[in-house]
Structure formats: structure tokens, C-alpha cells
Structure 1
Amino acid sequence: MGAATSDNGTSSSSKKVLSLLFQFSAERTELSVPEMSELIGATTPSTYRYLALLKDLDLLEEGKPGHYHPTARVIPLARAAQLSNPLARIAGPLLREAADTIGETVMLQQLAGDQVVCIELAECDRPMRFTIQRGRSTPLGRGASGKMALALCPAETRERLLPAHLSQDQLDTYLAQGFATSNSEIDEGVWACSVPVINTRKNLSVLTSAGPESRIPEERKEQTLQTLQKSAQKIREKYSKLLI
């Protein structure tokens, strides 16, 4: 009985340690101990224990006093995840083709926890463009990609993560029409359009284009949608052949 309790405690602590590491992202590169404690729902003493382990493994280090960030040791892990992702490998040339057609940045985003993460992208060759990095995460329900991805999720996920500015009816509309759009919802002055690629839980993914709203008139928005939908279909077809 005591062993089972010990195992459960160890398992819980391990999850907290990993959860702490996963709080860092391209948008949140540095955290203080109080911020870590709040994010993972742990006491301050427990957070210090988890932090000490990650520091011993050279995964986190202190930057400015009291604030910590990931070390270069995690970079090979991120690169390995990218290179081993078959969906990203398949999509690369098709994203380049779509970006050249649309004239704006196109990105493939995949569900990871309660977020969608950019796993591959192609930027447009224009002086002013929407810039994003692989690994950037977007919360479900925010922006075109977050709304489209949440609409694809199972009912319990939709109910749990539904933000105040959205309704289930809106999500149903995105699902029925096959796209979601946003304007300045995450990045000021940026219009984005997102369509489904794969809607299975394991590989739930969306294809999104984003660019300055000021140079995307209504007729180009329609062209963007059509190009994204064609590209998403090509990605699905190539991916399905890979699984045969």
C-alpha cells in the first residue's frame, strides 16, 4: 500500500516537472518562481524542488535575478521533433507553393495539449510580411487557427476551453463552413484565415495564412481561402498515402 502511494507521488511530481518545462514557449521565454507556481498549480517549495531538478539537468538556467529560461540543451530536442514529424515534412513544399500563390505567410499548426503549435511554415517574399517562428503556440479559441482548431476538437474539449468571446454555435459554424478568420485578434493589423487539415485527435492540424489586413482586399481573401483549402486537401492526400 505504501509503495503504491510512493509511486503515485513520484508520478505526480514527474508530471509537475514536465509541466513546468512546458510552460516556456516562443512567447514566454522567461518565468519567475511565483509565475511558475501559479502556472503549474504547485506550492513555492515544491516549485523550487522541480526547478532544482531542471537546473541540475541543464535544462533551465537563471537569467536576470529570480527569473529562469530554457538552455540551449533543449534546442536539439525541438529540432528532432520537427525533423521526425511526417506531417511537417510532407507539407513543406505545399506550403511554399501556397505562400507564392497567396503572397502571404502560410503555416501548418498542429494540436499540442491545449494549444496549436506551428510545425512548418513558408514566408512570402515581400518587404512587409507577417513573421512567425516554428514552435510558436496559439491557445485554442484565439485567432483564426485557434478557433478552427477548437472547432475540430471533441465536445468535452470544446466545453472545457471555450473562451468567453466564443459560443458553441460559432464553433459549429466554423466547422460547417470549413474555415475561420480573424482580424487583429492576436497581432495588431493582421488578418488571418485558417482551414482544417486533419481532424483526428492524434494529428489534429490546421493550415493558416496571415498578413497585413491593409493589403488584403475582399477578393484576395476569397483567393486565400480557396488556395488554403486546395493545399490542405493535397496534404491530406499525401499523408494518407504515407500511412498505407
Structure 2
Amino acid sequence: QVFLCVTSTLNVALFRHHFVLEDLVEEMKKQSPDLNFGPLQPDGQIAVRGSFPALRVLREFLLLKAKSLSEEGKREGKSHQKPRKKLQEHRGAAETRNSRNEHREKQVLVLDTDIYLYMKCFLPKKLQANDAVISGVTDGDITTVCIESAGREAGAARRSRAKEIIESCSVELQKILRKERICLKEQSRGEKQRYKQLCERLKARYPGLLILPYDTHIDVVGTSADVFAFREEVRR
């Protein structure tokens, strides 16, 4: 197992006008006792370290809080609206709002970024669905995947089904994938370039590996056998 522990930086600043952030962090700690929390920064960011499933539970907890605040704001906004003079006009406006709200409804799930990138590269059909738009927003080690309706015909059942497929695939990949990091921090610019070129040449011999080059390191994601063999060739 490789994806045992990850670190994510969460930004809870959006809750500043609704909660005392220090109290919110304490609630987060009670909600996720298996996670390690860093100090809360003045800008509302906080580093959290632990297992990916535990981080996913925490992210879902915060998303639910944000959603409840959004719904509360909508209810308050509606209570200040003036009533329509005609029932027909009121009904038409309500139907318009409902259709727009339905169109904006979405399913959200959180994935390890390496898992998401591997899925996107080798299993792209898992991130596709009829009448739905699936997009990912990466924030460091975690990627938030949004599943939204592409049209009025796509209901909650299809979005939920797409979410289940992605979650199931993610769980299976976590069981079989391994990640190896080739550190380049101490290497010269020439050595970094040599490593990247070598990895690029070896890629054809390991078609099932995902190779992610960065400025300070190269991540290699794949099965244990492929990652081990690739690492040994790079070290020669």
C-alpha cells in the first residue's frame, strides 16, 4: 500500500462570517480524530495530514456545512422577495427557478490527485457519463470531482450512478497502485533534464505507468511490479 498518508491544505476562510474559525477547527478535530491538524493560519488555511479516506470524510463534512449555509442564504433571500401579483406569473417564475436549480445540482466527491490523474489517463471512460459533465479541480494532493447535469433530462439518479462508478474505481486503484518519487531537489539543472529524458524514453516500455514530472521530483504511479522495475532501470 502506498496511498496510506497524505497532507492537504484546507482553506476554511469562507466560514469566517458564520463561525469562529478556531471553534470550527475544534469541531473538525472531533469529527476526524485520526487526522493531524497543523496550526490555523491568519488567512484561514490549515494543513491536515492523515489517511486519504479520513481526509475525504472531513472534506465531505465541510462541503455539507458549506451547502447548508448556501441553502440557508437562499431561504433568507426568498423570504425578502415581494409576492407575485398573479398566480400564473408566480408559477412560471417558480418553475424557472426550479429548473435552474435542478440544472445546477451536482454530486461532489474527493479523490487522491494521483488516483484521479491515473484514472484520467488510463480509464477516461470512468470519468464520462451520458447527460452529465464531470470535471476535476486539483488542490495539491486532493482533487475535487464535480458531476453536473448536462441537460434537464439528467436527473439525480444518473449523477449518483456516475459518482458510484468513480468511487468504486478509486477504491480498486488504491488497492493495486504504488507510487515512487524520484527526488530531484539536490540535482543540477542538467541532471534534472537527464532524469526527465530517461523517464520519457522508458515510458514506452512501461505503458501502464503514469509518469508525472515536476520541478523538484518525478512521481511514478502504477502496479508494484512496474514501479519497482522502472525504479531499478532509472537507478542504473
So what's the TM-score if we normalise by structure 2?
Answer: 0.28
- TM-score where L is the length of structure 1: 0.28
- Greater radius of gyration (CA): 2
